[in-house]
Copies of this chain bind each other. A is one copy, B any other.
Amino acid sequence: MKRVTLLTDFGTADGYVAAIKGMIAGIAPDVQVDDMTHDIPFGDIEGAAWTLSRYWRLYPEGSVHLAVVDPGVGTARRPLAARVDGRLFVAPDNGVLTRVLRGADNAALVQIDEGRYTAAEVSRTFHGRDIFAPVAAHLANGVRLEDIGSATTAPFRLELPEPGRDTAGVHGRVAHVDRFGNLITDIPADWVQPGNWVGIGDRLVGPLRTTYGDVDPGELVALIGSAGTLEVAVRDGSAARMLDAGRGAPVRCRPREE
């Protein structure tokens, strides 16, 4: 069974997501539609890029990922479709695919410009329904990416600073704060070792440990999170609140206690 997954910042109450699903069901009645989330904060492209990075590769090849966080609808930003390592994508050209493309071995992009695969009438304010949903449905039906539009390059990419290493140790930043208040960093697991000391901003967190259970409830803990990167958490609590830290906060990891 082919699948189309949906990520938006629309919420569900107004029927925008429902309209996207209806458009897909009308074109591709045998495709299963999976909700990923509709709770991305309004216009938070960097947050959407993070969330998308958590699941796109777990889906089997041939799956179609729709990612519509699109504050620029009605401006000149291009509508894109892509094939990345066997998975298909439809999204505005605003950076939401930045993390997908960064980790890709093979990527092909097209600008959606073939009217055969979009709605008969395309509104100026809801490309999710009129462009991205029908293209996703046609891709799930087996239409070739190359038939959706003309090949393109140079997609817009978010400037996401890379973590680095120097003689003092490793430095990076908080890439995402999740609903539990965990501070997920961009420092890869294999750059750090058990016992290294971790800090965020001007606060010392402590040594790198293995799991939440290594500290008492309410205490800070640094560990390798499920994204495969360094993460700072509070057991049964919120590290974001305890450290008053958010996305972009500087993170460092040193060989031993400072």
Contact = CB atoms under 8 A, between A and B. Distances in A.
A35 B35 contact: yes
Interface in A29-66: 29-30, 32-43, 47, 50-60, 63
Contacts of A21: 5, 34, 36, 55
Contacts of A52: 15
Given A13-B37, A36-B12, A54-B18, A223 B25 contact: no
A22 B125 contact: no
Interface stretch (A141-149, A155-163, A224-232, A241-249): A224-232
Given A13-B179, A212-B125, A71 B36 contact: no
Q: Is the interface of A mostly helix, strand, loop or mixed?
A: loop
| Highest count of chain B CB atoms <10 Å: which of A19, A56, A129 | A19
A37 B17 contact: yes
> Interface residues of A toward B: which range?
35 or more
Contacts of A71: 236
A191 interface: no
Interface string A124-152: 11100110000000000000000000000
Given A30-B1, A71-B236, A226-B129, A36 B55 contact: no
A38 B72 CA distance: 28
